[in-house]
């Protein structure tokens, strides 16, 4: 008895071969000359008249044969697809992560949905903003955000100063150079806030989703490993259609 994963594996090949075979058998119907035949004989009017050989062309394509070939080709496809779809209705497995069963008796179709959604969710988690590792962060309950310790910095103002390079004489004025001196005028106390996540938290989320993705894949493989009952529907369908 075949297993569901084996049926899934051969379904694509059966579909491809069916398309090729159908294209080949239906091609003959597009050429009227292949459907036509003729037979004719010649009889001279007089006994001494010219004798001509008979002529004939055989019918090369028969519509009934094309119908039969179509039915034969599609019957295999219908049967394989029916076997897969009927088996999918019954194929189920538990999703177990780290010894804990999260979901029980999950159908294959939903396991496939979960795989797709978890892949998209994983991409989202990898783009989560992470706290700047250069800072020291603490959770602030009053704002429900992360914050740094207060950092005090000096605010300065540039004040011009005169530097006398040469004193004035009775012949020359004094040579004075202007420079600026930073004078403290106050203090800034800065606290930074962030709504990002610690790297530890992001890594934890990524590890969990990877574990769940693996568990879903295992469950799908387990469900697809169940034995299936061959379904014979093609004969009934085409027996009615072309019978």
Q: State percent of the chain over pLDDT 90.
A: 44
CA distance 64 to 50: 40
**Domain layout of the chain by residue ranges:** 1-40+53-91+225-243, 150-190
- pLDDT (0 to 100) of residue 27: 79
- Name the pLDDT band for 6 (thresholds 50, 70, 90): confident
pLDDT by residue (tens digit) across 101-138?
Answer: 999 999 998 999 999 999 999 999 999 999 999 999 99
CA distance 9 to 16: 12
pLDDT at 39 over 80: yes
* H/E element, 138: strand 137-140
Rg (CA), the chain: 43
Cα 127 from chain centroid?
A: 18
pTM: 0.67
CA distance 113 to 126: 20
Query: 59 with 36: CB under 8 angstroms?
Result: yes
The per-residue b/e assignment along 64-95, b for 16 or more CB within 10 angstroms, e otherwise, is eebeebbbebbbebbbbbbbbebbbeebbbeb
Q: What is the mean pLDDT of residues 85-98?
A: 91
Q: Name the strands in the sheet holding 137-140, side by side, starting at the edge strand that comes first in the sequence.
A: 137-140, 145-148, 193-194
What count of other Cβ atoms lies within 10 Å of the Cβ of residue 12? 10
Compute the C-alpha angle 239/242/243, nearest 5°.
55
Q: What is the mean pLDDT of residues 138-155?
A: 94
Query: 219 with 107: CB under 8 angstroms?
Result: no
Indicate the average pLDDT of the chain.
89
In the chain, the largest separation of any two C-alpha atoms, in whole Å, equals 159
CA–CA distance from 236 to each of 22, 71, 73, 243 (Å)?
Answer: 19, 11, 14, 10
Block residue for tokens 């019918």: 59
Query: 26 with 45: CB under 8 angstroms?
Result: no
């Amino acid at each position: 008895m075949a297993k569901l994963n084996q049926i899934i594996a051969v379904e694509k090949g059966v579909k491809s071969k069916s398309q090729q075979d159908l294209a080949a058998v239906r091609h003959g119907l597009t050429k009227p000359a292949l459907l036509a035949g003729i037979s004719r004989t010649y009889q001279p009017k007089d006994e001494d008249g010219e004798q001509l050989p008979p002529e004939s062309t055989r019918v090369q394509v028969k519509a009934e044969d094309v119908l039969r070939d179509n039915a034969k080709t599609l019957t295999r496809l219908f049967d394989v697809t029916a076997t897969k779809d009927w088996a999918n209705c019954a194929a189920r497995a538990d999703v177990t992560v780290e010894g804990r069963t999260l979901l029980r008796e999950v159908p294959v179709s939903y396991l496939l949905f979960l795989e797709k959604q978890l892949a998209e969710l994983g991409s989202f988690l990898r783009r989560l903003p992470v706290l700047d590792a250069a800072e020291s962060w603490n959770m602030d309950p009053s704002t429900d955000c992360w914050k740094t310790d207060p950092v005090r910095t000096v605010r300065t103002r540039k004040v011009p100063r005169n530097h006398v390079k040469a004193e004035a004489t009775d012949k020359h004025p004094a040579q004075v150079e202007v420079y600026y001196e930073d004078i403290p005028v106050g203090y800034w106390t800065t606290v930074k806030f962030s709504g990002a996540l610690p790297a530890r938290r992001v890594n934890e989320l990524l590890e969990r989703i990877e574990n769940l993705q693996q568990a879903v894949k295992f469950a799908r493989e387990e469900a697809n490993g169940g034995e299936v009952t061959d379904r014979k529907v093609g004969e009934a369908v085409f027996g009615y259609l072309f019978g």
